[in-house]
Structure formats: structure tokens, C-alpha cells
Amino acid sequence: MNKIIFLISIIMTQLMADEAHDIIKKLDENFRGRNVYMQVSMKVVSMGHERVMRMQSFSQGNKKSFVKIIYPPKDSGITFLSLDNQMWQYVPKIERVIKIPPSMMLQKWMGSDITNDDMVRQSSIVEDYEPRIIKRAGTVVTIELLPKLGAPVVWGKIITNVDTATYTSNRDIFYDEENKEVRFFIYEKVKKVGKYYIPTYWKVGSSDALDKFTEIVLEEIEYDTGVYDEYFTKNALKRFSK
């Protein structure tokens, strides 16, 4: 009898792990597609001040990503490229391509609550984290993501609430290595674009400074158009800056 219970518990654990993997994979597919183009508006709110930026983003999987700032005019034309875990930035004013060292990937981006890593979505929740279902409430599944051994990530843990009806997250909480809550992402206004679901309103903030947050609105989204290869070269940084 004990052997049967033991066998069942092993099978259940395996099934739940597979299910967690499956959910995270579908969630990631919704975010990335095979390739995706987005026009994003970002509002940084801090101590009563607001600053708005607009940018275009092209990405293919988690290895290739290109971002171009289109607003405000002063920053327009600044481009970012991420290729195979390396990142560069082109600044038209000085006409230089600058390599961003890995140590700066988690630096906050232009006073906002997102990091360079978030900008180019270099780290992958599918490849770098081990998921485990910790709670179910209707269609919403709470999954704990722990970094895999040797994975190049800094978060000690991520808790994500995934709606399995659309495979989109409504809230991610990021913890540091000491298990202290550091920041949160809130996702709202889920839209269906082609065969993918994606939240079009994101709010990002630090857990210890609630008066400071960043709002991101996805204004345009196009999936799987398959014409972005030209963006993923270093030459593109300068060429598409104009």
C-alpha cells in the first residue's frame, strides 16, 4: 500500500512540475511569440513628477532584441541591441556604439523601475528558472520560480499569478537572494492579438517605494511577421536610429 502511495505521489509531483513548465512556456510564448513588434509608451512617476517616453521594440526569442526610442525628441533615435547575451547602445548625439557590460544589465533604465535586462528581455523565465505550482484559485495558478543552478540571474525567487484561461500573468513579485520582496509587476487589460494573449497595461514598482512607479502601455503589437532579421545586427543600431 505504501509503495502505491509513494508511486502516486511521485507521479503527481512529476505531473505538477510538467504542468508548471507547460504554463510558464505558454506564458512566455504569449509574451514573445516567434517574433514580436511593439510600440510602447512608458510613464515614469516619481515624487509627483512624470516623464513619458515612447519606443519601438523588435524581438525574436530571448536572444535577439532591438529597441529604438522615438519620444521625447531629445532622446529620439537612441537604439539598443541585444544579441546572444551581449548588449549595445547607439547614441546619435555622439555617433558611438557603446557596449553595455553585463554588470550593468540590472541597472535601472533612465530613472524608471525597469532594468536594462527588462528592456531587452535577455533572461528567460523558461530557461533560467525552475517553476513549481504553489496555489490554485479558479483559473489563476500561482507559480514559484526558483533560479536554476548556475543560471545568470539575480532574483532569488519570482512568484507569478498566471491566468490559465489566457496564459497571461496578472502579477509578478520579485524577491532578492535573501527572500525579501524587491519589486512587482502588475498586468491588466489583456488583449488577443492573433493567436496570442497579452496584457497591454503594466505597472512596475519597487516594493519599498510605492509613490514611485512606472506605467507601460503597449500601444501597438504585431506577432510573427517574420521580417525583423535586419534589426539584429550591430549595423542596425546606427541605420535604424534615423
Partner 1 sequence: MFKFALKNILFYRGRSIATFILTFISSVLLILFISMQDGSHNSMLKNSLKIYTGAIEIYHKGYRDIGGNEYLIQDTKSIMEKLAKIDAIEAFSSRYETYGLLSNGEHSAASMVAGVSPNKEMVLSSLHLALKEGKFLDENSGNSIYMGSELAKKLKLHVGDEVAFVGGASDNSFAADIFRVCGIFKTGLFEFDSSVSFLSRSYFDELMYAKNRASYINIKLKNLDDLDRVNSEIVRIINDKNLESLTWKTLMDTMVEAMEVDNIFGYISLSLFLVVIFFVIMIYDFINISSRIKEFGVLRCVGLSKKNIFALLFYEIFILSSLAVVIAAPIATCICYYYSINPIVINGIAEMYRDYGVVSDEIPFSFSIPTILWNLSIIYLLNFLSILYPYFYINSFKPIEATRHV
**Residue numbers of the site for partner 1 (CB under 8 A)?**
44, 46-47, 49, 51, 69, 72, 74-75, 78, 89, 91, 93-94, 96, 98-101, 103-104, 107, 110-112, 209, 212
CB of 237 to partner 1, least distance (A): 13
Of 20 and 55, nearer to partner 1 (C-beta) is 55
Nearest-angstrom CA–CA distance, 22 and 25: 5
* DSSP codes of every residue in 109-164: STTSS-BHHHHHT-S-TTTSEEEEEEEEETTEEEEEEEEPTT-S---SEEEEEEET
Of 52 and 134, nearer to partner 1 (C-beta) is 52
Of 23 and 81, nearer to partner 1 (C-beta) is 81
Q: Are 134 and 146 in contact (CB under 8 A)?
A: no
Contacts of 46 by beta carbon, 8 Å cutoff, 6+ apart: 111, 211, 212
Of 91 and 151, nearer to partner 1 (C-beta) is 91
Nearest-angstrom CA–CA distance, 189 and 129: 26
Contacts of 227 by beta carbon, 8 Å cutoff, 6+ apart: none
Of 14 and 86, nearer to partner 1 (C-beta) is 86
CB of 209 to partner 1, least distance (A): 7
- Whole-angstrom CA distances from 81 to 60, 72, 103 are 12, 20, 16
Q: Are 65 and 120 in contact (CB under 8 A)?
A: yes
CB of 110 to partner 1, least distance (A): 5
CB of 226 to partner 1, least distance (A): 31
CB of 236 to partner 1, least distance (A): 18
